[in-house]
Each structure stands twice: as structure tokens, then as C-alpha cells.
Structure 1
Amino acid sequence: MRTMNAKDAVAASLAECFVTIDGRRYNFMQAINLEANFKKTKAKVPILGKPGQGNKSTGWEGSGKATFHYNSSVFRKLFYNFKETGEDIYFDIQVTNEDPASSVGRQTVILKDCNLNGGVLAKFSASDDYLQESIDFTFEDFEMPETFKNLAGM
């Protein structure tokens, strides 16, 4: 029986995160975590002769959440611009995972047309060691220019 080698678990902190807004690319090294999710939308399908209903995929939705160190005004500037002009800005987030100890190589996912649901405008804490902020977002498309290799034995 083959099993996975422990070295092939991808280290959680060995990632890169870039955000591209209006053609300007930012290295979001202040990211603490990010998770993007793909959810299929489905319709119930009644089927004659069966007591239950079937499920048919009809589309998908993309959403995500991220936590950052509270030390950048990039997203707050987007909120301010929206407040002042009503112009909603869409942007891309690129995430690459690569652990040199693992044999799986690297994976890059680009989340396209991301849009923030909201966020922190101002913050302080007299008791925390450092400040962080969380955001929720949606995205409308994605690309995978690099994918992990299959593990030996798969």
C-alpha cells in the first residue's frame, strides 16, 4: 500500500499573493490567510416515476475571505473612491503555493474580477499585539496557469 510522504504536505506559509488593481500590481506580503471557494449552483429536477428529485448543475459562484495585517490603505482607497464616485473597482488576486520540499511543484490560481463586500475603515486596540483586518469578496472568473503534479503512486 502506497502512502503520501510527509514532505509532500505543502507548507501553509510558503505562498505568494499579488493583487492587480487598475493595471497596478501589488505584492500583498501582508496577507495572513486567504481562502477562495467555488460553489456550484443547482436546480431541483422533478423526475417522473421517482419519489425523489434530481439535481442539475446550472452555474457557479465564486467567493472568498482573507485576513491581512492592518498596514495598507489600498482597499480603503477603493471604498473611498466608491463613496465619492459610485465607481466600483474590480481587480485580480493571484495566489501561488510552492513548497520546495514537496514533490508536487507549484500551483497558481488567479481570481478574476474580484469585488470587495466591505471592510474596515479605521481600527485600534490597546490590548492586541498587532492589528489585522478581514475582508470578504466575490470573484467572477478564475484561471489556473500552474497546477500541482500528481504524487507518485496516485
Structure 2
Amino acid sequence: MPGPIMNTQDAVSANFAECFVTLDGTRYSMLMAKEFEGTASVNTAEVYKLGSVVVGHKAQTVALSFSMTIYKCTEIFDLVVENFIKTGVMPTFDIQTSNDDPATTVGRSTKIYNNCILDGDVLLSMFNAEGDFVEQSIEGYCDSFTRPEQYTNPAYM
């Protein structure tokens, strides 16, 4: 007799999501967001041990980063760049994302990325004669994240 198997309905659909950016105390609903990824990159160092030919590894640091693609129908990131140019201080912001697929049994997951800072290019303007949609990639780093809502593990785990 086979053991438990995954409920296929628990594969979380990525489009059941929401995203908010809080900048200078104003919370913006990022309904124009097309995709978002928040990642933790763990950096390790090699540890050599006397009496062993096996090289161990130890975690030393973690870099928290994000990337998102939006339809450019907002200029809040232009404002961040403009403020940086005018003041020499890069404004930080928070990003809140939630996934909540109603078909799953795992519930809702929310992450808040704190003190985000831009890294890389910010599209200020563009056009083309073919009439493509104006999309913008936003990338950066954050200082920390919190998890106010977490998926519950399915019963079959």
C-alpha cells in the first residue's frame, strides 16, 4: 500500500499574491507588479580540520535581495533616485508580499522586507514604435525580513 502523497491542490499558484511598497510613510499597492522574488543568499567559508581530509563549511553571512518587474505606471522609484541625487541620501523603503491561493490547505504566507535599497538600473523613460508595454525591473537589497504569516505544513508531511 502506498504512503501519503502530496495534494496537488497544495501547489501554490503564484498569481494569487499581493505586494505593497511603503516609502516615506506612504503605503502603495503595487497592482502593476508582474513578478517578484525575494532571496536569501547564504555565504559560507571553508573550514579545514586537522586529522581530516574532509573540508567543512560554516555559514558566515547572508545577503537578502529582491527583484521585481512592474509595468511602469508609477514613478515612485524615479522619486527615490531623484531624492538620492538631490540629497546624497538613498531613501529606503519596505516591501510586503503575500501569497494566498484559496485552493490550498497551507494558508497564507506574508513576508516584509525591511530597509530596502535600490541596486542597479532604474528605467526613467522609454518608448518604441512597436507599442510594447513599458516594463521596469527593480532590484535591490534589504536589511532584514519578517514573516507575520506563514504557511502551515500540510497534514501529509
TM-score (norm. length: structure 1): 0.95
Aligned twin of 1:123: 126
Aligned twin of 1:101: 103
Which segment is superposed worse, 5-14 or 72-81?
Answer: 5-14
Counterparts of 2:135 and 2:147 in 1: how far apart (Å)?
Answer: 29
Counterparts of 1:12 and 1:73 in 2: how far apart (Å)?
Answer: 25
- Three-state SS of the structure 2 residue aligned to 1:101 is coil
Question: Which consecutive aligned stretches of 4+ in structure 1 deviate over 6 angstroms post-superposition?
Answer: none
How far is 1:126 from its partner?
Answer: 1.9
- Three-state SS of the structure 1 residue aligned to 2:43 is strand
Residue deviations 1:55-83, cap 9 Å, x none? 11112110121100011100001101111
Aligned twin of 2:63: 61
Say whether 1:45 aligns with 2:47. yes
Counterparts of 2:131 and 2:103 in 1: how far apart (Å)?
Answer: 34
Aligned twin of 1:140: 143
Residue deviations 1:18-39, cap 9 Å, x none? 0111111110111000001101
- 1:128/1:45 CA distance change after superposition, 3 Å: farther
Counterparts of 1:43 and 1:26 in 2: how far apart (Å)?
Answer: 40
How far is 1:136 from its partner?
Answer: 1.2
- Three-state SS of the structure 2 residue aligned to 1:56 is strand
What is the root-mean-square deviation in Å for CA atoms of aligned residues? 1.2
How far is 1:128 from its partner?
Answer: 4.3
Which amino acid in the other structure matches residue 146 of structure 1? Answer: E
Structure 1 unaligned runs (5+)?
none
Q: What does 1:20-99 align with in structure 2 at a 5 Å threshold? A: 20-99=22-101
Which amino acid in the other structure matches residue 14 of structure 1? Answer: F
- Three-state SS of the structure 2 residue aligned to 1:49 is coil
Q: Is the 8 A contact 1:125 1:131 kept in 2?
A: no
Counterparts of 2:56 and 2:7 in 1: how far apart (Å)?
Answer: 40
Equivalent residues, number? 154
Percent of aligned pairs sharing the same letter: 38
Structure 2 unaligned runs (5+)?
none
How far is 1:133 from its partner?
Answer: 0.8
Residue deviations 1:76-96, cap 9 Å, x none? 011011111111111110000
